[in-house]
Amino acid sequence: MSPEVVSRKGHSHVADWWSFGVLAFEMITGHLPFHGPNRKETMNMILKAKLAMPTYPSLEAQSLLRMLFKRNPANRLGAGPDGFRNIQSHSFFESIDWDKLYKKQIEPPFIPPIHSDFAHYFDKEFTCKTPTDSPGIPPSADAHDSFQGFSYIAPELINARQSDATYSSHVERRLRSIIGVKQTPFSDEYELKEALGHGKTSTCHRCIHRQTREEYAVKVIKDPSINDPSNEIELLFRYNQLTHIIRIRDAFYNSPTVYIVTELMRGGELFDKIRQEKSLSERESAKIMFVIIKTIEQLHRNSIVHRDLQPRNIMYVDTNRQPSSLRIVDLGFAKQQRAENGLLM
């Protein structure tokens, strides 16, 4: 979360560029820029702590990160009238030909030939060794697991919604009014398969379309009165044509359960890739950041603030995990700017 979100003084689309900075920092360094022992301390660090910048990133990378972590939104990179173009023109991206990259016209610097022996490119010094168990991991290595599937909703807000019959009926009216939401049984068209992931208010499953036998993912929300999904469904239908936003195929409201059917992310989360590789090269990070910048800029152009950019919400459609297959998958916290001053409260 950006400082202006933490302080609850109102925020604009510029809050997404802070989140983008956190994402870039994690890709380049392998860890978070602000991380305290608890939620309160983490928020205090976001508001007050000095950025602990490692020395090994290039000067251009350090400059990019520092400019994205300006606590005053007006001074943050991407805040001016040129918006994301200020980020594109930063020296960190000097070697990137944006047009050629977007058109997939840039050749990879190295394409290894495929070999039948999976260990062909490993030195015999290592392949001849007897396998041994890995040593114990440091306590910090699984710090992210504590927050897997975590989406915070204040308990008092949940209690208020559950006890307010008018809120539940309002959610139901909104869901029934959205063009594209079906009220026929989900099971008539899809077979529900194994769970892929769990969140606080929903579970994601693999599913199969009965007629075409195509595989999809489905987000199952058992109680929409806790966290109204109608805004997310509307945004997914409205911006289904955007290249790097997850594509919705169907939505069902079988009271009280909501089903949101989307394309299946076979390549997993960007978070998984970062953990497996410890950190990404600046070149690969730049290509990933380019895709995210273009996608966020398209959302901002439509007055939408994402508000929850993080590696777990960015996934790969294909198992090859190329930047071109990236998708932003969760619009649950996204909001359309509607206040007269252009801020979200």
The model's pLDDT over 204-249, given as tens digits with 9 standing for 90+, comes to 999 999 999 999 999 999 988 877 899 899 999 998 888 899 999 9
* pLDDT number for residue 181: 95
* CA of residue 181 relative to chain centroid, distance: 24
* pLDDT number for residue 123: 81
Exposed/middle/buried for residue 231 (C-beta within 10 Å: 0-12, 13-18, 19+): middle
State pTM to two decimals.
Answer: 0.58
CB atoms within 10 A of CB 345: 9
CA dist 46 and 173 (Å) reads: 39
Listed as ranges, residues in the chain with pLDDT below 70 are 132-163, 338-345
DSSP conformation letters of 140-157: GGGGGGGGTT-----HHH
CA dist 30 and 281 (Å) reads: 10
* H-type alpha helices, 239-333: 270-277, 282-301
* pLDDT number for residue 218: 96
Whether 219 has a binding-site annotation, put simply, is yes
Q: Exposure string (b/e) for 280-317, b if CB count within 10 Å is 16 or more?
A: bebebbbbbbbbbbbbbbbbbeeebbbbbbbbbbbbbb
Residue 282 corresponds to which tokens in the numbers above? 């600046």
Return the DSSP state at 111. -
What angle do helix axes 59-68 and 15-29 make, rounded to 10 degrees? 150
* pLDDT number for residue 257: 95
* CA of residue 51 relative to chain centroid, distance: 23
**Residue bearing tokens 């998958």:** 329
* pLDDT number for residue 237: 92
Q: CB under 8 Å to 53, separation ≥6 — which residues?
A: 62, 65, 66
* pLDDT number for residue 241: 86
Return the DSSP state at 93. G
For 191-247, give the secondary structure using H, E and C.
EEEEEEEECCCCEEEEEEECCCCCEEEEEEECCCCCCCCHHHHHHHHHCCCCCCECC
Q: CB under 8 Å to 45, separation ≥6 — which residues?
A: 34, 35, 36
CA dist 127 and 160 (Å) reads: 60
Q: Which domains does the chain have, with CATH numbers?
A: 3-94+266-336 (1.10.510), 165-262 (3.30.200.20)
Cis peptide bond N-terminal to 256, omega within 30? yes
